[in-house]
Structures are given as structure tokens and as C-alpha cells.
Amino acid sequence: MDLDSLTTTSGEWLRGNGPESDIVISSRIRLARNLAQFPFPNRADDAARTEIESLLKDQLFDLAVGTRLSYVDVRTLNDLDRQFLVERQLISREHAESHGSRGVGISSEENLSLMINEEDHLRIQVLHSGFALDDCWKQIDQVDDAIEERVTYAFNDELGYLTACPTNVGTGIRVSVMLHLPALVLTKEIQKVFQALHKISLAVRGLYGEGSQAMGDFYQISNQVTLGKSESQIIAELKDVVPNIINYERRVRDALIQENRQGLHDQVSRAYGILKNAQTITSEETMHLLSSLRMGINLGLIDDLEIPTVNELFIHTQPAHLQKIRQESLESSERNIARAGYLRLRLTDDDDDRE
């Protein structure tokens, strides 16, 4: 796969038109799987890791799942390309920063990725735009079945799929929904959401899942329990809980508009103004302002910009994406200038393109 070509596109999951896509950015399901006859990656030496990689890679190539997979050898990539794949949500940070033989199979629509030699031998991930957990499950279940016909997974009747970390054992499933919750953050109501989710054993994380902080008011809600519940029960739990958070966010947005429409309109318009005109801007400020802008579009306060463009800007203004787009390595201060330039170009271009 030519990673450079990805800088001109954005993943299918960013198209911003799935169910509830004003608040739900994306739905993701991942399965952790291991081969029965090898030690887990952290305990496997270089030779074993290479054997695991080539065995699984061979199986991926003739995987009949209705989509073509490209294989990227993560070991041979430079740091920038690895970071790029992390920003793209195609590999985890742990996979990028790990060592030894490892790689990832990626579908052309970027909604399926198969990480080899991450924490487990195989991490299958499916990512869809909007609130679409059933679609994710349907696809990932098929991919899992297709792989399982070719290899022997580590599994036992009592504990289910055996994983490197006992927090994943059983189904090996992690079901996550990425939510944009600017109004709950603005009114500090988000703390109540966290507390409520914590009580029912759901985890809240930032934009890039594990090991990231919530930036730009994006929160990933996911299950923690993987044993003693079936996949469909776990998915059903998320499907029960997430609409409550969506409604909560919408109610707070409506209240904000009613109480202080002008103030909110001002905040959103200022965010748009800075993004269109800044000469240097940090990643953090960009995320913050894009978040305001995104809410403004959804509330009808801004009408000359569309959600998919904003979704794409979130990803394309990240450090590795910027450097890939510019095809040069940039220091932090240079990136801030390049980021501002890219935002001016994209936001002004979009104005001109609109008819």
C-alpha cells in the first residue's frame, strides 16, 4: 500500500453520514485472537514473531471477505509513517512503538485492519461511520470466521479466546463508539456521564483510544468486561447506553441555544474566523476550534461548510499527516505554521467551491 496516497483521501469512517453522525463519529469493534501453538507476542523471540507474522500474513492474502487487503510491514516503516497509521486509526500506538516483526493488513476503504503481533498475535478491527455497531459486528464476525477456517486459535471451553492480557479473555471483543460531546464538556455535565458509565463498567477514553487524552471534546466509550457475556450482549449494552448520552448532549445543546444563542453563535464564528486566518496554530488549539466549528454546523449556525470536511481536517492537521502532505519533516514550530496554512487553504477553497 502506498501510504502517501492516503493523504489525499480520508477513511470511509470519516464520511460523516452514518446514523446519529452529528454526535457519533464512528463505531469500532475489535477482536483479540491468538494462535494456539505459539507464545504470545511479548514472550515470542524474533524468530517466533517472524514465523507468526508470515503464517498470518499468508492467511490474510487469500481471505475471501469481499474486500482487497494491502499489507504494510510496520517493522520497516520510519517513525513518521508509523505515526501516520496511528493518526489514521489503522494501528494502535502500542503496535507503532513495539519492536520486531509486525504488520497490518488494511482494506482499501480503510474500514478493516488486521494487526499482526500487537499485544496479541492478531487484532482484527472494523471501523464504520456513525452509530453502526451491528454493521461492524456483521463484518468482523465474517472476517474472524474466514481466518479461523485457516488457523487454530488459542481457545478453551471455559475461558473462551485466550489473550495475552486477562482483561481481554473470553470474547476478546472491544466495542467502542466515538462521540463528539462539546456541549456536555462546555457545561461540565460530562463528569456525570463519566461517573454513570464507570458504574456500569464502561470505559471512557480519548480520541486515539488507549493512551490518549480526550482532545477536541471527543470521547470513546467502550466495554471493559469480555468474559461471561456474549458478543451480542456486550454490543446490546452499548446500544442501550449510547442513545442516552446522545440525547443528553442534544438536550444540553438545545438549552445552550435557547439561553444564549448569540453567545454560542459568537463562539462558533470566532472559531471559524481563527481557523480561516491564523498564521500559526497548535494541534491542540486546532482540535478545540474544529470542535466548536463542528457543533456550529450541526446547530445550523454555520452553513457554508460540511461535516465531512471538518472530520477530515481533524485527521489531516495531525502532526504526521501534515508532514506527509508537505512531504517533509517539520519541527513543531514549522508544523504550526504549516497547519495554519493548510487550514486557510482548505477552508477558503471550500468557500470558493460552494455554489
Partner 1 sequence: MKKCSRCSKPSTLHITEIQEGVAQELHLCESCAKQYLAAPEPMTSESDEFAEKLSESVSEEESESYGQLVCPNCGITFKEFRSQGRLGCPHDYNAFAKELTPLLENIHGETQHVGKCPKRAPEASQKQYELIKLRGRLRAAIDEEDYEMAARIRDEINELEDEVHSSGDDD
- Among residues 42 and 70, whose Cβ is nearest to partner 1? 42
Is 226 a binding residue for partner 1 by CB under 8 A? The answer is: yes
Amino acid present at 64: A
The footprint of partner 1 on residues 102-121 (CB under 8 A) is 119
Segment contacting partner 1 (CB under 8 A): 80-88, 104-112, 156-164, 316-324? 156-164
- Among residues 204 and 257, whose Cβ is nearest to partner 1? 204
Is 171 a binding residue for partner 1 by CB under 8 A? The answer is: yes
Is 191 a binding residue for partner 1 by CB under 8 A? The answer is: no
Is 34 a binding residue for partner 1 by CB under 8 A? The answer is: yes
Residue ranges with strand state E in the chain: 24-33, 69-73, 103-107, 112-116, 122-129, 155-156, 160-161, 173-180, 202-205, 218-223
Segment contacting partner 1 (CB under 8 A): 105-113, 145-153, 293-301, 304-312? 145-153
Is 81 a binding residue for partner 1 by CB under 8 A? The answer is: no
Distance CA 323, CA 341 (A): 13
Given CA atoms 110, 115, 120, 124 in this order, what sign does their dihedral have? positive
Is 134 a binding residue for partner 1 by CB under 8 A? The answer is: no
Is 212 a binding residue for partner 1 by CB under 8 A? The answer is: yes
DSSP readout, 2-33? -GGGGGGS--GGGS--STTTTTEEEEEEEEEE
DSSP readout, 218-241? EEEEEE---SSS-HHHHHHHHHHH
Segment contacting partner 1 (CB under 8 A): 44-52, 70-78, 240-248, 317-325? 44-52
Distance CA 352, CA 344 (A): 12
Distance CA 249, CA 271 (A): 20
Is 97 a binding residue for partner 1 by CB under 8 A? The answer is: yes
Q: Which of 65, 146, 196, 227 binds partner 1 (CB under 8 A)?
A: 227
Is 133 a binding residue for partner 1 by CB under 8 A? The answer is: no
Is 165 a binding residue for partner 1 by CB under 8 A? The answer is: yes
Provide the phi-psi class of 201: left if phi over 0, else alpha when psi is between -120 and 50, else beta: left
Q: How far is the CB of 105 from partner 1 (least distance, A)?
A: 20
Instruction: Give the Å distances, CA to CA, from 229 to 115, 159, 160, 334.
Output: 25, 11, 11, 49
Is 345 a binding residue for partner 1 by CB under 8 A? The answer is: no
Q: Which of 85, 104, 127, 154 binds partner 1 (CB under 8 A)?
A: 154
Residue among 175, 188, 344 nearest 252 (CA): 188
- CB atoms under 10 Å from CB of 282, counted, come to 16
# chain residues binding partner 1, by CB under 8 A = 55
Q: Which three-class secondary structure state does DSSP give residue 315?
A: helix
Is 231 a binding residue for partner 1 by CB under 8 A? The answer is: yes
- Among residues 145 and 240, whose Cβ is nearest to partner 1? 145
Is 19 a binding residue for partner 1 by CB under 8 A? The answer is: no
Is 17 a binding residue for partner 1 by CB under 8 A? The answer is: no
- Cβ atoms 178, 125 nearer than 8 A: no
Distance CA 45, CA 29 (A): 29
Query: What residues make contact with partner 1 under the rule CB under 8 A?
Result: 34, 36-40, 42-43, 45, 47-48, 92-94, 97, 119, 141, 144-145, 148-149, 152-162, 164-167, 169-171, 173, 203, 205-206, 210-213, 224-231
